[in-house]
Structure 1
Amino acid sequence: MTRDYSNFLPQRARDGGSQASLSPLQALGWQPFFAQQVSVDDMIATPPVRVVEVHRSGLHVLGDDIDTTLPPRADVTVGDWLMLDPSHPRSSRALERTSLIKRRAPGTDRQEQLIAANIDTVFIVTSCNQDFKVARLERYAALAFEARITPVIVVTKTDLVTDAQSYIDAARAVSEMIEVVALDARGSAPKADLAAWCKPGKTVAFLGSSGVGKSTLANALLDSQFIETQTIREDDAKGRHTTTRRELHAMPNGCLILDTPGMRELQLTDAADGINDLFADIQELATQCRFNDCQHETEPGCAVLKAVDEGVLDARRLGRWRKLMAEDAFNSASLAERRSRDKAFGKMVRGVKKIKDVRR
């Protein structure tokens, strides 16, 4: 019989509650989803801890009266929940995630990089200057949709331009399913405008380029200047990397905030579903094509190309969809090839070891 762990959470916390109604674990984002993966005996023998910071030298974890560092692991990222094994910390069991943000790591070695886990809302931050690029917003949005995380586009520095509405309209055109919030990151606006997503026990993340105001927004929500910020270069509006690691911070109301370094390169991988969700308009048109396997290139009876000709679909949007799909297909195939090769190599090593053991 499966135990019901929902009563681990007080009623007020389940309904949104306040920080005062949260237990130490709930204040770290503990939810019934995680509780249902463990037993009471598990909770006693291997208490749950959350990864709040990742260093090259180890994982900083917090739990109920636990604050320690575990050995580094490639399969764990900030936001993950682990069942802490005091005798063998490196073997602490990682719980199944509610969500995972990942990308193909920069470079040519075809690695996959884990960005963050168990995030409820992603604030995709951009600003009213040269940083604003629809294609970049679409990449972040596809990443969020693939991870089944609620994306919200936050347009900052509206006070620095005379026509902020054009930026807002362009952001809204990314997807009908994404809410857009425009604000000045300084002052009280972030707390008021983002309150709907920053609730006790929830975890939110800021993603975007350097210099768009992610750390300023986080500081506004935290009621502090804990996270260092810097001004952008005026000639090209590019920011300087002030946030150097991914780390969870606690808001006064019990919401957790993940501030991330700006990503110069965001290569999608295994994100086809997220891309299709983002470009739902193109997917709907594709169902009307004459051929089921239509590539929307030159085929007769293509409803997508017809929509472009009639001005219903922006040709640039179709081009960006093609680019993201091609990139994702290439990266996904490359990573699958690497996994297959690594699996074969591991099998060979185990075989050689087995032969040596027999000979001994």
Structure 2
Amino acid sequence: MTDYTLKDLGWSPFFAAQTDPETLDFAARISTVARDRVTVLSPHGTLILRTPETTGDYAVGDWVLTTPDRGAVAERLERQTSLKRRAAGHDVSAQLIAANVETFGIVTSCNEDFNIARLERYLALAASAGCIPLIILTKSDLCDDPHSYAKQAERLSPLVAAVTLNATDPDELDTLAPWCRNGQTLVLAGSSGVGKSTLSNLLTGGDAATQGIREDDAKGRHTTTSRDLARTRFGGWLIDTPGMRSLPLADVADGIEAVFEDIETLAAACKFNDCAHETEPGCAIQAAVEAGDIDPNRLKRWQKLKREDAQNSEALHEARARHRSLHKTYRGAQSAKRDRDGR
């Protein structure tokens, strides 16, 4: 059994401000989330805790306070960063990906998996969550000019850093050290088959299964099926995530604004406040497109993400309002029943 100090686990003044000397001894960090319980790492070792509510309210990386007997969660601390997306399919809900992550590692490869539109989605998610975005380009050994991919990635936003590496070469793992050492937490996300599990194995000394990719479309199968918090060889923490076939966005308007800051700035200069940036007179964005300053494809991607985020955000807010209304009705019915039984 390995015991860690709070500092080892990524404790910071942000979390310390939410505790006092009496509760500090009960702080722990969630390493895995199961259906009805969570596993946490703490200075007292690894603990399995019951939760007072559904585990869907918890994410790998969360900090919690345990009950005095260290058998259950007493309180979840406020998150410093929170990565979430709209759940895939028809489920109108937000799905937590990870919490309290400093760096969001977006893994793609130097082949057909490299997709500008998908990268912009991930970058909007990272910016909205407050994470540092890092684009990790794997399979550099199979590409004639991997640095051309890195240049394309870094042009997407001034917030982005991009690195290229061969995920199967242990000597190249030092490239990622600045983002996962000294208690820092790095989360890896991306499509299946891009080398996330291979990177995870090398960074943590784990043995997650890996599978090959189809040569015709560079796509792979899911190998990571759950999330966990694992110690890296550099002294930080890694959260690997299952391969994502889709990344529906919701409540990330601020992230889209950050990634497309150039277009957002131009939009503010349009003649009309409700400009659709299509054929309206005085449209600063269309003027920039005509001048060659804005790529028309980038404009289309921005418009698509804005529409999607607005629609999904509205659906989420309506679903939350319905849930609150049903909860209020349920509590009212319970109260009325207690009053009748009391009589």
SS at match of 1:195: helix
Which residue number in structure 1 is paired with residue 24 of structure 2? 43
Cα drift, residue 325 of structure 1: 0.8
CA–CA distance in structure 2, aligned partners of residues 356 and 248 of structure 1: 45
CA–CA distance in structure 2, aligned partners of residues 73 and 167 of structure 1: 39
SS at match of 1:254: coil
CA gap of 1:314–1:39, structure 2 versus 1, over 3 A, is: same
Cα drift, residue 167 of structure 1: 2.3
Aligned ranges for residues 271-310 of structure 1 at < 5 Å? Answer: 271-310=252-291
2:126 to 144, 162, 186: 144
What's the CA shift string for 1:323-355, capped at 9, x where partnerless? 111111111100100111111111111111222
CA–CA distance in structure 1, aligned partners of residues 172 and 208 of structure 2: 15
Question: Which residues of structure 1 form unaligned runs of 5+?
Answer: 1-21
Cα drift, residue 149 of structure 1: 0.3
Please state if 1:323 is matched with 2:304. yes
What's the CA shift string for 1:82-104, capped at 9, x where partnerless? 10114595552000111000001
Please state if 1:108 is matched with 2:87. no
Which amino acid is 1:270 matched to? D
TM-score calculated relative to the size of structure 1: 0.89
Which residue number in structure 2 is paired with residue 82 of structure 1? 64
CA–CA distance in structure 2, aligned partners of residues 85 and 297 of structure 1: 58
Which residue number in structure 2 is paired with residue 26 of structure 1? 7
Please state if 1:235 is matched with 2:216. yes
CA–CA distance in structure 2, aligned partners of residues 281 and 189 of structure 1: 38
* RMSD, matched Cα: 1.8
Cα drift, residue 297 of structure 1: 2.3
Which amino acid is 1:289 matched to? C
Aligned ranges for residues 185-196 of structure 1 at < 5 Å? Answer: 185-196=167-178
Which residue number in structure 2 is paired with residue 56 of structure 1? 35
8 Å CA contact retained: 1:190, 1:221: no
Deviates more, 1:198-207 or 1:273-282: 198-207
Which amino acid is 2:184 matched to? K
CA–CA distance in structure 2, aligned partners of residues 103 and 64 of structure 1: 32
Question: Which residues of structure 2 form unaligned runs of 5+?
Answer: none
CA–CA distance in structure 2, aligned partners of residues 271 and 124 of structure 1: 17
Cα drift, residue 191 of structure 1: 2.7
CA–CA distance in structure 1, aligned partners of residues 71 and 243 of structure 2: 31
Which residue number in structure 1 is paired with residue 74 of structure 2? 92
8 Å CA contact retained: 1:127, 1:156: yes
Cα drift, residue 68 of structure 1: 1.9
8 Å CA contact retained: 2:47, 2:70: no
Which residue number in structure 1 is paired with residue 324 of structure 2? 343
SS at match of 2:179: coil
2:139 to 157, 175, 178: 157
Between the two proteins, what is the percent identity of the paired residues? Answer: 48
Cα drift, residue 193 of structure 1: 1.6
